[in-house]
Chains A and B, each alone.
Chain A
Amino acid sequence: MSDKKPYRDDQLKILLTQEQIEDKITELGKTISSDYAGKDLIMVGVLRGSAYFMVDLSRKMHIPFAIDFISISHYSEQADSAGVVRITKDLDLSITGKHVLIIEDIVDTGLSLGYLLRNLKTRNPADLKVCTLLNVEARRIVEVPVDYRGFDLPNIFVVGYGLDYNERYRNLQFIAEFSRP
């Protein structure tokens, strides 16, 4: 029962330009590089939304590090009512004893990130931190630590730069507020 309205009705209002995003990522790359200098860092991108951010951020880093990706199932109407969140693509690397930085496109409710943190913690990394491009504190249900953040957003729905609506709009180079009439 997904939205049947035609996409031509979607309204997008640019919120963060390509330039603003680039500048912020350069800044984050610098901070993270200096914080993790001399440490065995694994950056863990959470698929699929963070793919764009992960790639761009990794190119702004000036220390050695490894990258890996993880993906978890998300709640949807189709989900079996008895279903629970699970990892659909696990890490390929072992993170035990490593410094792990989770890379998220957006942290809002904290529900999926909360699960991810609980799961990764059991693998005994040296430490576990979170970097997100967008942070929507107003939607938080579960408290999660956010160590690095690009932008704080109010309670709005956004698309672009990896963020989708029904798998659309991920490839936009900017971030826009999304609405449907």
Chain B
Amino acid sequence: MGIITISREFGSGGETIARLVAEKMQFLLVNKETIAQGLAEYGIEKPVPRLEDLIGGEEDQAGLQYLEAMHNYIYDLAIRNDLVILGRGGSVLFCDYPPALHVKLIAQFTQRVQRVMKLYDLKPETAVKLIKEQDCSTRQYYRRVFNMNWANLRSYDLVINTQKMALEDVADIIIAAYRIHALPREIKDAPGGVEIEDRVFISPTEAEAEQFMHSSEEEFAHMLDFYRIRWEYEPKTFLLEWDSEGNVIEAFSPDFFLPDQDLYIELTTQKPKQAWKKNRKIRRMKELYPDINVRLIDKKGFESLLRKHSIDHDEGEEI
């Protein structure tokens, strides 16, 4: 079973690239639609239009069952087929399968907006809204289903910024990377084979480049950069609560650490009523780690920061 998983930022060309890779490799393309069709053949229907909604706060049995069915379906397919899996957390599902190649496609936000506008014939505002919604829902999906940070590039083998490349070229890069990655060393090194060592390997985009969970965090980071304040993004997790067996049941990762100020900063754009959870975490953190400086910048504070700099902040997802 050959496996290529492709995770993409909405509007980075993932659909087309996945289809091209599947066609060229003669792999089976697995995406949201083919999964829904496949499961429907077994009489398993999606319980609601949007799976993402289902697996929210409350335990939703139907949603969980569908998820399980979906994951089993993908695993079953993988036994008999070579797959290109687009989205659906493929990189997580096959994280323990070394020959799999996990690809992440990214592109500048503006570039994505342009692509989405063209693709779906949308006005700029609509495209921006759509992209933000899609990003948000993917992020929540990863968070809820796998308890993982979707934006973390370190879970991928290959990260490609598609904005300057033709989609077909991106597909070829993925195929080349897959061949190098998945084939056993002996074959690669065999006489007459391609001289792997001399080839320039496609380097992933800056693995260190910070991927923010939220646009306001990115804005805040830009602001710190502007004023030449050094910062680190979510560098540390503080354990807050343990159960009787010593298992951690609550932890907290403040958004930023400013080493020169020796200060942790948590940003929230939630309204005060919803921000109580964060406030509680910060209070708890102050109790447990009295020597650590942590500060919450709340919705009001963040808004006045933006207002001061005359920046319009579209509401976006609350964090």
Taking Cβ atoms with an 8 Å cutoff, the residues of A that contact B are 1-3, 74-77, 79, 81, 83-85, 108-109, 111-112, 114-115, 138-143, 155-157, 165-166
Within 8 A of A (CB), among B284-300: 295, 297-298, 300
Cross-chain contact B229 with A114 (CB below 8 angstroms): yes
Within 8 A of A (CB), among B219-244: 222-229
Cross-chain contact B300 with A75 (CB below 8 angstroms): no
Q: Would A155 and B304 be within 8 Å (CB), given that A3-B312, A76-B310, A141-B265 are in contact? A: yes
B154 on the interface (CB 8 Å rule)? no
B-chain residues with CB within 8 Å of residue A156 when the two chains form the complex: 300, 304
Q: Would A143 and B226 be within 8 Å (CB), given that A76-B311, A157-B308 are in contact? A: no
B-chain residues with CB within 8 Å of residue A81 when the two chains form the complex: 222
Cross-chain contact A157 with B227 (CB below 8 angstroms): no
Cross-chain contact B310 with A166 (CB below 8 angstroms): yes
Q: CB within 8 A of A83: which of B226, B265, B311?
A: B226
Bound-state CA distance A111–B263 (Å) is 14
Q: Could you give 16 example pairs across A and B, Cβ below 8 Å?
A: A75-B223, A77-B311, A77-B312, A83-B226, A108-B304, A111-B223, A114-B227, A138-B301, A141-B258, A141-B263, A142-B227, A142-B261, A156-B300, A157-B304, A165-B307, A166-B310
B-chain residues with CB within 8 Å of residue A1 when the two chains form the complex: 311-312
Bound-state CA distance A75–B224 (Å) is 9
B-chain residues with CB within 8 Å of residue A3 when the two chains form the complex: 310, 312
Q: CB within 8 A of B305: which of A79, A139, A142?
A: A139
B164 on the interface (CB 8 Å rule)? no
Bound-state CA distance A83–B225 (Å) is 8
Cross-chain contact A75 with B222 (CB below 8 angstroms): yes
Cross-chain contact B310 with A111 (CB below 8 angstroms): no
A-chain residues with CB within 8 Å of residue B185 when the two chains form the complex: none
Q: Would A84 and B226 be within 8 Å (CB), given that A2-B312, A77-B311, A141-B265 are in contact? A: yes
Nearest CB of chain B from residue A86's CB, rounded to whole Å: 10
Cross-chain contact A77 with B309 (CB below 8 angstroms): yes
Cross-chain contact A2 with B310 (CB below 8 angstroms): yes
Query: 10 shortest A-B CB distances, which residue pairs?
Result: A111-B227, A75-B226, A157-B304, A77-B311, A75-B223, A76-B309, A1-B312, A75-B309, A85-B227, A139-B301
Nearest CB of chain B from residue A139's CB, rounded to whole Å: 5
A-chain residues with CB within 8 Å of residue B312 when the two chains form the complex: 1-3, 77
Nearest CB of chain B from residue A105's CB, rounded to whole Å: 12
A-chain residues with CB within 8 Å of residue B307 when the two chains form the complex: 157, 165
B-chain residues with CB within 8 Å of residue A114 when the two chains form the complex: 227, 229
B-chain residues with CB within 8 Å of residue A77 when the two chains form the complex: 309-312
B-chain residues with CB within 8 Å of residue A165 when the two chains form the complex: 307, 310
Cross-chain contact B228 with A85 (CB below 8 angstroms): yes
| Residue of B whose beta carbon sits closest to that of A167 | B310
| Residue of A whose beta carbon sits closest to that of B306 | A77
| Residue of A whose beta carbon sits closest to that of B223 | A75
Bound-state CA distance A157–B298 (Å) is 14
Cross-chain contact A111 with B304 (CB below 8 angstroms): no
